[in-house]
Structure 1
Amino acid sequence: MDWIAIIPFIVVILAAIWTKQVIPSLLFAVIVAGYLVDSHWLRGMMTGFMFIVQGLTDENNMKIIIFLYAFSALIGIVKVSGGIKGFVQEATERIDKKRGAFILTWLSSLGTFSAPSFRIVTIAPVMKAMRKNIPMSKQELGFVIETTASPLVVLIPVATAFVGYMTSVIELSLQQANAEGDPYSLYISSIPFNFFAFSMLIVGFYLSFFHRNKKPATDAEDMSQDKGKDDDNWQDCHPAVTKELPAKPWNLVVPLASVIVLTFFFMYMVGVEEGEQGFKALINDGVLDAMVLGVVTTLIGFVFYLKVTALPLKKIMDSLIYGGNEIMGVILLLATVWGLSKGSEALEFADTISSWFGWIPPGFVAVIIFVVGCGLSYFIGSSWGTWGILMPVGVSIAVVAGSSLPMVIGAVFASGTFGAFASPLSDDTNTTAGILNLNAIKYAKFKLKPALLAASAAAVLYFGLSFFL
């Protein structure tokens, strides 16, 4: 009867594909796990509930929640203080050529890599305003912008909204598979194996600086809008750049720089406390603590600065809470992912994987996980949802088969990145389409072909490397 341990994962995959909703699917799977542990009508429900509570009371998980909420709150007050609008206005006034626009797109990633949606909201209005000077269609511009969103953010190992979650799913997957390892070190080791992300960055760089289009594609442009409307007007294309907000670019630059600098500072100090010196002090298991301290310290300092120089405290706090609450959907996702992990442990999921999937050749695990994950992420449109569902399965199979853990973890992250980039349901697709006035479905279809080519190249690399690792 050990097969019952895989039922929650089958349930969540089927429910997610059917409903296109990740959180309800995960919650349903947690409830199913509760009833598989205890079939009593009341105790089963309570068991499922306790799985979620156990996940939320974990110390590291609470740190992740604090980091995500504080970071989202910081972005909220950056928006209301005019940081994003100021950056967009300065860029549109200073740059009027295609090469300059694309150089800005790539260089700005150094300061706006914290989250894909943040990258898009920051740079898409700039490109929209300068579109008349750039010989590319709006969907081609959107494509270039998005190649510097999720495919780039997943490769940056510090001070992003992704790092805490990615290390969290690795940690819970290791626990579930009864395997040892430092989650953050494994994440760092997996970065070179995210072949899809690297492929899309190469494609985006080529389109930015070397591609010459004879006939730009325009089929994704939304032709239903008023012809008399100035479609290239960037103001009011997103709430972060509305006309009512002030334009203060330093309110974007300084807080983001502060988060990055303070994160590295606290990482170094944690390493020094552990007896390390020099570069070795930066490589430690306290990265999550450093990220929390970096963003919370910046948030407190920025609130104090705005209170002294510009805004009423009530408006600042309202924006802070509103910004923080925007991440609650992600926190709910995390709660259900952690709950499913606890349920899987109770059902001895790792033992089931050991007995069922030990026959898979070690070299085939990464490519199989990648292909399955690409399909799952495309249909649900969520990279985080894909990672939460697939990482425990991938790590458990990798441990049993003796596969390279960094490569399998990299394959899981790559498969989720595929969905975030190519799916018509993803936040990246819909945010870009909304700002650039594109039809989201047609725009996603436009992106699908190059995404499939990049995914095919990644699959070949996973298969080829299997003979050497």
Structure 2
Amino acid sequence: MSTPWILKTLGFVILIGSIMALIEKSGGVGGFVHFVLHQKAFVSSKRSALLLSYFLGVFIFIETSITALISGAVGKPLCDKYKIPHAKLAYICDSTSAPIGSLVIFNGYGALLLGLITTQISQGSLEGTAFELLLDSVLYNFYAMSALLVAFLFIWFGIDIGPMKRLEYKKSEIYVEEKVNSMYLMLLPIFLMLVLIFVFLYITGNGEILKGSGSSSIFYTMLSVLGFIFIYYVGTKNMSILEYSKISFKGAKKLFAVSMILIFAFSIGEVTSQLKTGLYLASFASENLNVVFLAGAIFLLSSLISFSTGTSWGTFSIMIPIAVPMAVAMDGDSALVIGAVISGGIFGDHCSPISDTTIISSMAAECEVIEHVRTQLPYALISGCIALSLFVVLSFINS
């Protein structure tokens, strides 16, 4: 708790909870939904109906739950209009939320991964800057990339396989009235986040973005956006100072559990480092496992842990302190191995019926959780096989 970057990372998590709660309550989300449905004719077919939800999931990457909820909110009325089974919408929500969140790292995923990699650098397991290593690792996040590609092909070509073939359309029975205000109440804060993160990376890196402090940049960005929202929302009389304060507190409280996960994650990382768990596994694996299969094995193990626990965050916290020393001891590619951990965590989380993103995607699309899991599993397995093959091929090339 006395380490500055840890405190800034925890602060970021709390602040993003406040920001998301404020945007939701402002009516900006409802305004955006109204705009794309009624003011602009973006949708004219089943394909374009699902594509709209897909691209929303890709472009709104700040937080996975918000991504899924916005995609679902926009997609449900379109599914009813074109008689599209809601399990298809749930698959799109799920296949864009966590995968895109793990690729575009200016969010909670980035904060956690940055913290875990920084821990490994401070303990001497890795060399270089945490932000550069994180960017390198994200380039090897093959499952997220393949999941997004498979989902797009599913929409574009209408590829129904497995249980998805037998789906029948069921009309929505639940209707929740959405507060509708100007969509700029949502768009301007999100745009400001994207701009300021690079501004603060430039400032903290003394003119070099790649050398900037990720934890500081993310923290200062969220603090600035929260201040902007106060001026914008209160100034336009969208909400009073009291409402702003109450909503901010509720949003922060909602993500308090995530900040506790981070604290425990950093603690686990320190413990496994002190116990030399990674070095032990490396010495054990070096006798039984060729370095060519290291990234593939890490991917499968991370997938199993994530599927069993339903959390990619916990998987990252457990596996990165183990996988990095293994890669270093076996003279493997550390960035590739970290990419394998990220991919495996997202893959297992995507398939797991107890994952929060699986449940939220089902809820957002008004689809039964088990139906969603059954129908999306064949597509997730295809993406997983593609990712596994790429890890083995790249390990062979690097070796």
The alignment's TM-score, normalised by the length of structure 2, stands at 0.91
Q: Which residue among 217, 227, 230 is the counterpart of 1:300?
A: 227
Number of the residue aligned with 1:63: 8
Number of the residue aligned with 1:120: 68
Deviations 1:16-59 (A, max 9, x none): xxxxxxxxxxxxxxxxxxxxxxxxxxxxxxxxxxxxxxxx3321
2:347–2:380 Cα contact (<8 Å) kept:
yes
Deviations 1:289-326 (A, max 9, x none): 22211111110121122222221111111110111111
Q: State the SS of the aligned residue for 2:396.
A: coil
Number of the residue aligned with 1:51: none
User: 2:267 aligned with 1:339, yes or no?
Assistant: yes
CA gap 1:448/1:259 in 2 versus in 1, 3 angstroms: same
Deviations 1:224-269 (A, max 9, x none): xxxxxx6176x51xxxxx44x3433111001000111111122223
User: 2:256 aligned with 1:328, yes or no?
Assistant: yes
2:125–2:324 Cα contact (<8 Å) kept:
no
Distance of 2:267 and 2:172 partners within structure 1? 46
Distance of 2:114 and 2:273 partners within structure 1? 18
Distance of 2:65 and 2:376 partners within structure 1? 17
Distance of 1:129 and 1:196 partners within structure 2? 30
Q: State the SS of the aligned residue for 1:114.
A: coil
User: 2:378 aligned with 1:449, yes or no?
Assistant: yes
CA gap 1:443/1:220 in 2 versus in 1, 3 angstroms: farther
Deviations 1:321-362 (A, max 9, x none): 111111112111111111122223443445534544443322
Q: Kindly report which structure 2 residues correspond to 1:65-214, keeping only aligned pairs within 5 A, or say none.
A: 65-93=10-38, 94=40, 95-98=42-45, 99-109=47-57, 111-134=59-82, 136-157=84-105, 159-176=106-123, 178-211=125-158
1:200–1:451 Cα contact (<8 Å) kept:
yes
Please identify, of 341-350 and 118-127, the stretch whose mean Cα deviation from structure 2 is larger: 341-350
CA gap 1:110/1:379 in 2 versus in 1, 3 angstroms: closer
Distance of 1:232 and 1:218 partners within structure 2? 23
Number of the residue aligned with 2:319: 390
Q: Which amino acid aligns with 2:25?
A: V
User: 2:211 aligned with 1:270, yes or no?
Assistant: no
Q: State the SS of the aligned residue for 1:130.
A: helix
Number of the residue aligned with 1:461: 390
Q: State the SS of the aligned residue for 1:165.
A: helix
2:143–2:387 Cα contact (<8 Å) kept:
yes
2:306–2:349 Cα contact (<8 Å) kept:
yes
1:176–1:349 Cα contact (<8 Å) kept:
no
Q: Which has the larger radius of gyration?
A: 1
User: 2:227 aligned with 1:286, yes or no?
Assistant: no
CA gap 1:138/1:345 in 2 versus in 1, 3 angstroms: same
Q: Which amino acid aligns with 1:295?
A: M
CA gap 1:212/1:412 in 2 versus in 1, 3 angstroms: closer
Number of the residue aligned with 1:14: none
Distance of 1:165 and 1:257 partners within structure 2? 22
2:272–2:321 Cα contact (<8 Å) kept:
no
CA gap 1:258/1:348 in 2 versus in 1, 3 angstroms: same
Q: Which amino acid aligns with 1:264?
A: F
Number of the residue aligned with 1:407: 336
1:177–1:396 Cα contact (<8 Å) kept:
no
2:279–2:326 Cα contact (<8 Å) kept:
no
1:128–1:232 Cα contact (<8 Å) kept:
no
Query: Equivalent pairs: percent with the same residue?
Result: 22
Please identify, of 411-420 and 145-154, the stretch whose mean Cα deviation from structure 2 is larger: 145-154
Distance of 2:215 and 2:69 partners within structure 1? 26
Number of the residue aligned with 2:295: 366
Any unmatched runs of 5+ in structure 2?
none
RMSD across aligned positions (CA): 2.4
CA gap 1:218/1:417 in 2 versus in 1, 3 angstroms: same
Deviations 1:79-110 (A, max 9, x none): 11112122122222234423443443344346
Q: State the SS of the aligned residue for 2:397.
A: coil
Q: Which amino acid aligns with 2:29?
A: I
Deviations 1:151-173 (A, max 9, x none): 1121113x322111111122223
Deviations 1:193-219 (A, max 9, x none): 111111111111112222266999486
Number of the residue aligned with 2:247: 319
Q: State the SS of the aligned residue for 1:467.
A: helix
Q: State the SS of the aligned residue for 1:462.
A: helix
CA gap 1:295/1:110 in 2 versus in 1, 3 angstroms: farther
Deviation at 1:176? 4.8
CA gap 1:65/1:221 in 2 versus in 1, 3 angstroms: farther
CA gap 1:465/1:351 in 2 versus in 1, 3 angstroms: closer
Distance of 1:215 and 1:449 partners within structure 2? 7
Distance of 1:347 and 1:143 partners within structure 2? 41
Q: How many residues align?
A: 393
The alignment's TM-score, normalised by the length of structure 1, stands at 0.78
